[in-house]
Amino acid sequence: MLKVIELFAGIGCQREALKRANIEHEVVAISENDKYASSAYELLHGKVNNLGDIKKIEKLPKADLWTYSFPCTDISLAGKMRGFNKDSNTHSSLLWEVQRLLEVAKASDELPKYLLMENVKNIVSKKFMQLFQIWLDYLHSLGYKNFYKVLNARDYGIPQNRERCFMISIRDEDAHYEFPKPINLTKKLADLLEKNVDEKYFLSEKLITCFTDMKDRHGLIRGLRFKPKYMSSADYAFTITTHAGYRPTDNYIIVPQATKDGYALAEVGDGVYTNRCPTKRGVVQKSMIPTLKTSVSDIGVVDNDKDKLISIRRLTPRECWRLMGWDDNQIDKAINKFSNTQLYKMAGNGIVVDVLEAIFNQALFEFS
């Protein structure tokens, strides 16, 4: 039986993946200080020994595997990138609490054999590699062999473009670990969408007005079947007169982006960025959603509205959870117990379960 501790446990994506990978395990403790996440954790997995704020934990129970997907806020490109220096007092510097607890475990000869880290891809970027190397060297000094790799959820069965850095550390100098090979994506974003989604999820006319300033390419224009009254065709014809996308039979949304053409076409079932599009590339993701964050305010999905017109809407919480690899049976246990804000946050903070399951399936653990 593998004894497990989930640090920064969230809703327990780690545990869900162990279950799915059929690895016999027992979660002996978790550390999670958010009351909503820890209550969702218990709804999903049952009662757990939550030790709360990691800073207040003196010693962890003995275990074989510690997981630590520590806060990425200060490492992520989406944040201010204040980093995770030991004395920086940032959220991401909570990593060094793991070091403190490893030191305690070392003193009583209880170092876990396995460690699993997850964080944003930026942790191995030029900006942070030096600091990450310090962490790698530290683990090495404790006897761990480290294997890390950036994996994208879309390569492991889920239509979300989500790149994350995973690291397996094994306390055995002869250890070897190979990350799972990518598989073909057979699921499309549309397969994970709900039917008859409440109107409140559709972007308002006001928001669309804001997107439709195509003169200076700030925003989106609803294509074809919808021609906003406040625009003349000259306003949006600057790029599209020779392209598909303006004929009455077409069914696109034209999204400005920072490419030579200046726009991309989005169809029903595509994911789109909905803010600062003209400054970005890849604003339309075919049959896929961009990375889910802790709120869904910057992304949308192209869908038909109640009048069967092409439109853009926010994802529902259930869709977000599905896009993090949760199945409806599990989602049903938590979905009505929290506000949408909390549900989005839990999803965006998580790890795509399918990716972790694939990692665990790679003949990793030896235990008795």
Ligand X SMILES: C[S@@+](CC[C@H](N)C(=O)[O-])C[C@H]1O[C@@H](n2cnc3c(N)ncnc32)[C@H](O)[C@@H]1O
Which are the catalytic amino acids?
Answer: 72
**Rounded CA gap, 63 and 196, in Å?**
46
**Rounded CA gap, 350 and 347, in Å?**
5
Part in contact with ligand X (CB under 6 A); list of ranges 183-191, 267-275, 289-297, 344-352: 344-352
Amino acid at 81: M
- Interface pick for ligand X out of 159, 271, 300, 350 (rule CB under 6 A): 350
Answer yes or no whether residue 325 interacts with ligand X by CB under 6 A. no
Answer yes or no whether residue 32 interacts with ligand X by CB under 6 A. yes
**Rounded CA gap, 156 and 179, in Å?**
11
Rg, the chain, Cα only = 23
- Interface pick for ligand X out of 222, 311, 349, 359 (rule CB under 6 A): 349
x/- track of binding to ligand X for residues 220-239 (CB under 6 A): --------------------
Q: Dihedral sign, CA of 359, 362, 364, 366?
A: positive
Q: Where are the beta strands (DSSP E) in 8-142?
A: 25-31, 65-68, 114-120
Size of the site for ligand X (CB under 6 A): 22
Answer yes or no whether residue 34 interacts with ligand X by CB under 6 A. yes
Note whether 98 and 66 are within 8 A (CB): yes
Q: Dihedral sign, CA of 184, 187, 190, 194?
A: negative
- Interface pick for ligand X out of 2, 10, 330, 331 (rule CB under 6 A): 10
Q: Which residue has the tokens 């995770």?
A: 84
**Rounded CA gap, 348 and 290, in Å?**
11
| Tokens at 156, concatenated | 């492991």
**Shortest distance, CB of residue 44 to ligand X, whole angstroms?**
10
**Shortest distance, CB of residue 123 to ligand X, whole angstroms?**
12
Answer yes or no whether residue 5 interacts with ligand X by CB under 6 A. no
**Rounded CA gap, 302 and 287, in Å?**
10
Helix 13-20, helix 35-45: angle, nearest 10: 20
- Tell me whether residue 70 or residue 236 sits nearer to ligand X (CB atom): 70
**Shortest distance, CB of residue 288 to ligand X, whole angstroms?**
22
Part in contact with ligand X (CB under 6 A); list of ranges 2-10, 103-111, 126-134, 297-305: 2-10
**Shortest distance, CB of residue 19 to ligand X, whole angstroms?**
13
- Interface pick for ligand X out of 13, 123, 254, 299 (rule CB under 6 A): 13
Part in contact with ligand X (CB under 6 A); list of ranges 20-28, 30-38, 225-233, 314-322: 30-38
Q: List the strands of the sheet with 253-256, edge to edge.
A: 221-222, 253-256, 263-266
Answer yes or no whether residue 98 interacts with ligand X by CB under 6 A. no
- Tell me whether residue 117 or residue 203 sits nearer to ligand X (CB atom): 117
**Shortest distance, CB of residue 347 to ligand X, whole angstroms?**
9
Amino acid at 140: H
- Tell me whether residue 94 or residue 289 sits nearer to ligand X (CB atom): 94
**Helix or strand or coil: residue 329?**
helix
| Tokens at 352, concatenated | 């795509």
Backbone angles phi, psi at 309, to 5 degrees: -95, 150
Note whether 234 and 255 are within 8 A (CB): no
What residue number has its CB nearest to ligand X? 10
**Helix or strand or coil: residue 19?**
helix
x/- track of binding to ligand X for residues 37-76 (CB under 6 A): x---------------xxx-------------x-xx----
- Tell me whether residue 74 or residue 270 sits nearer to ligand X (CB atom): 74
**Shortest distance, CB of residue 56 to ligand X, whole angstroms?**
8
**Shortest distance, CB of residue 284 to ligand X, whole angstroms?**
27
- Which H/E stretch holds residue 308? none
Residues near ligand X (CB under 6 A) = 8-14, 31-34, 37, 53-55, 69, 71-72, 94, 349-351
